[in-house]
Amino acid sequence: MEANLSNAVKVQQVLKYTYGLVPIVAGLDKFTNLLTNWEAYLSESSKNMLPFSAGTFFAIVGIIEIAAGVLVLLRPAIGAYVVMAWLTLIALVLVYGGFFDIAVRDLVMAIGAFALAKLSVPAEPRVA
């Protein structure tokens, strides 16, 4: 039982740093486009609906992602649900744009964020 608890703590820590740091890096990249050209994932019709430039949109997205990553690092039981919802929303947008392969990966990552949320809730005290 002790080994299982120790392993669960290790898994929770790996997930916490993954779902904390990756959104921060992706959010920062919205300002630099070093990893990819983020605007390519936004359809022309979506760009036309925005009340501001696509660059401004992705700056806002970047700030949200950075905040979500910080929240995961500080409060994983809450932040993981935020990241899960964010990844699900991104997957829906990607499906709309025809990027089904990336949408599936984001949904898988959302499931991992859900697992982190569940692992981050303090265990109920056991009655002897």
**How do the domains of the chain map onto residue ranges?**
2-120
Quick: pLDDT tens for 11-22.
999 999 999 999
Encoded amino acid at 81, one letter: Y
DSSP H helical ranges for 1-120: 2-32, 44-49, 54-74, 76-96, 100-120
Report how far Cα 106 is from the mean position of its chain's Cα atoms: 8
Quick: pLDDT tens for 65-115.
999 999 999 999 999 999 999 999 999 988 988 899 999 999 999 999 999
Please count the residues of the chain. Answer: 128
